[in-house]
């Protein structure tokens, strides 16, 4: 990943409370709290560079004294983190997520000040080791094996300038680009470090890659029409096999990833014989079950990904790029509309339920009830 950091372990401690004043019943101030706060312009690397000790301790509460029987609260401590961070404790339990600017999470509480309940002795603040885990948030996540042409595609459809080289594992760190449309709509696209077979077992960049996919709304599979071979020691995979293996990697890491809406960009259509190979691939994708006998059982996903659109493209010549951009936008718009409809239906249902509940309350004692009819 080079200089890119996507997780960090920090020590946090709430401030101790202040001493009480037994003779006059004075209360010590509560210790300060430790908060994690999201900032748009922050990175985990900046956080690590600025606070190399990675220790965050809040201020102590003031002691109670004659001139101020109620001691003032200790100073809170704020940890600035980038947007898109998930905060977990030492046991991996999620404390919370920060998805937008100024989101904040309390991670270590200050101790109570001394008072009658505590025999006027202050309590210590909470100690907690926390893990910050950065997961990119983007509209579209590019999924593909190394050398599928994802970086070239990103530079073609957006204003991103990823480092592109002629060897496997080209993408050093997650690269974010924005597709700009003529009506000023913007769609963010994340190109993530190349997957390899066995990524779910954390081979290659494994989990570092897969966890970022979780935070994208939709997936764009990018495959090389001529297939893929990582090295002379590994199997050659056709474009169809590549798609099946990518699906399997997603499923083994987290099944929900397969339920995300997905598009397929078949890249390098400028190569000789690309058209013939594309016809073969389309036939395989339309009848996948007929070709699954070619795979070992362990490589077959429980469910094959259903692509909303399949677009042949060439990131080099620009063929199909405009159509791909239109398909991405259409897919995101349709999905947003479906979510809106579902949200409105839920609101209406809640309204209906609350009305039904209020109407079905038992009548009060003074109410006149209609005569009961027994039907025999």
Residue 216 DSSP SS3: strand
User: What distance in Å separates the CA atoms of residue 257 and residue 309, rounded to the nearest whole number?
Assistant: 18
Q: Which two tokens stand for residue 301?
A: 């996903």
20 SS3 class: coil
Exposure of 201 in the CB half-sphere (CA atoms within 13 A): 4
Give the CA distances from residue 263 to residues 27, 124, 266, in Å, rounded to whole numbers and listed in that order. 62, 54, 10
Name 159's Cβ contacts closer than 8 Å, sequence gap at least 6.
177, 178, 180
Residue 89 host element (H or E): strand 85-89
Please state at what angle helix 274-286 crosses helix 239-253, rounded to 10 degrees: 50
Can you give the pLDDT at residue 368? 42
| Alpha-carbon distances of 356 from 253, 368, 372, rounded to whole Å | 43, 20, 22
Nearest alpha carbon to residue 206 among 215, 195, 217, 216: 195
| Per-residue pLDDT tens over the stretch 20-59 | 999 999 999 999 999 999 998 888 889 999 999 999 999 9
Measure the CA–CA gap between 243 and 148, rounded to whole angstroms. 11
- What is the value of pTM for the model shown? 0.66
Each residue's pLDDT tens digit, 291-325: 888 788 888 888 878 899 999 999 889 999 999 99
Measured distance CA(267)–CA(221) in Å, rounded:
10
d(CA 92, CA 95) in angstroms, rounded, equals 9
CATH class in words for 136-331: alpha beta
pLDDT at position 231:
67
Q: What is the pLDDT of residues 114-165, one digit of tens each?
A: 999 999 999 999 999 999 988 767 889 888 887 778 888 888 888 666 554 4
Instruction: For residue 141, give the 3-state DSSP assignment.
Output: strand
What is the C-alpha to C-alpha distance for residues 191 and 327, in angstroms, rounded to an integer?
A: 18
Domain-wise residue ranges, the chain: 5-132, 136-331
Mean pLDDT of 353-364: 56
- Return d(Cα 223, Cα 164) in angstroms, integer: 17
**Residues 230-281: tens digit of each pLDDT:** 667 777 889 998 899 888 888 887 877 888 899 999 999 999 999 999 999 9
Q: In this structure, are residues 227 and 236 in contact, taking their beta carbons and an 8 Å threshold?
A: yes
Between 212 and 279, the higher pLDDT residue: 279
The CATH number that domain 5-132 falls under is: 2.70.210.12
């Amino acid at each position: 990943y080079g200089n890119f950091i996507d997780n960090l372990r920090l020590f946090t401690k709430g401030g101790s409370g202040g001493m009480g004043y037994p003779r006059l019943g004075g209360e010590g101030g509560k210790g300060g709290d430790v908060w994690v706060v999201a900032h748009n312009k922050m990175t985990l690397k900046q956080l690590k560079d600025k606070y190399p000790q990675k220790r965050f301790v809040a201020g102590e509460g003031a002691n109670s004294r004659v001139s101020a029987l109620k001691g003032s609260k200790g100073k809170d401590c704020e940890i600035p983190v980038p947007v898109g961070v998930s905060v977990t404790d030492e046991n991996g339990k999620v404390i919370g997520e920060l998805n937008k600017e100024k989101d904040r999470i309390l991670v270590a509480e200050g101790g109570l000040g001394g008072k009658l309940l505590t025999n006027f002795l202050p309590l210590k603040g909470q100690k907690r080791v926390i893990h910050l885990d950065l997961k990119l948030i983007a509209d579209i996540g590019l999924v593909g094996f190394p050398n599928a042409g994802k970086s070239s595609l990103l530079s073609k459809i957006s204003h991103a300038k990823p480092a592109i080289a002629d060897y496997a594992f080209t993408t050093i760190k997650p690269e974010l680009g924005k597709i700009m449309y003529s009506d000023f709509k913007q769609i963010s696209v994340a190109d993530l470090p190349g997957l390899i077979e066995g990524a779910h077992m954390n081979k290659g960049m494994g989990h570092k890659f897969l966890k970022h996919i979780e935070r994208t709304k939709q997936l764009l599979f990018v495959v090389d029409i001529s297939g893929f071979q990582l090295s002379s020691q590994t199997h050659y995979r056709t474009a169809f096999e590549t798609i099946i293996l990518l699906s399997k990697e997603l499923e083994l890491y987290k099944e929900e990833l397969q339920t995300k809406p997905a598009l397929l960009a078949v890249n390098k259509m400028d190569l000789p014989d690309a058209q013939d190979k594309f016809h073969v691939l389309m036939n395989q994708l339309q009848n996948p079950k007929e070709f699954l006998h070619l795979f070992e059982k362990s490589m077959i996903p429980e469910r094959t990904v259903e692509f909303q659109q399949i677009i042949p493209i060439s990131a080099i010549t620009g063929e199909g790029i405009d159509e791909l951009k239109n398909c991405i936008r259409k897919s995101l718009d349709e999905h947003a509309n479906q979510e809106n409809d579902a949200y409105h239906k839920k609101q209406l249902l809640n309204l209906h339920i609350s009305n039904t509940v209020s109407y079905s309350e038992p009548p009060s004692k003074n109410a006149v009830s209609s005569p009961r009819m027994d039907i025999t």
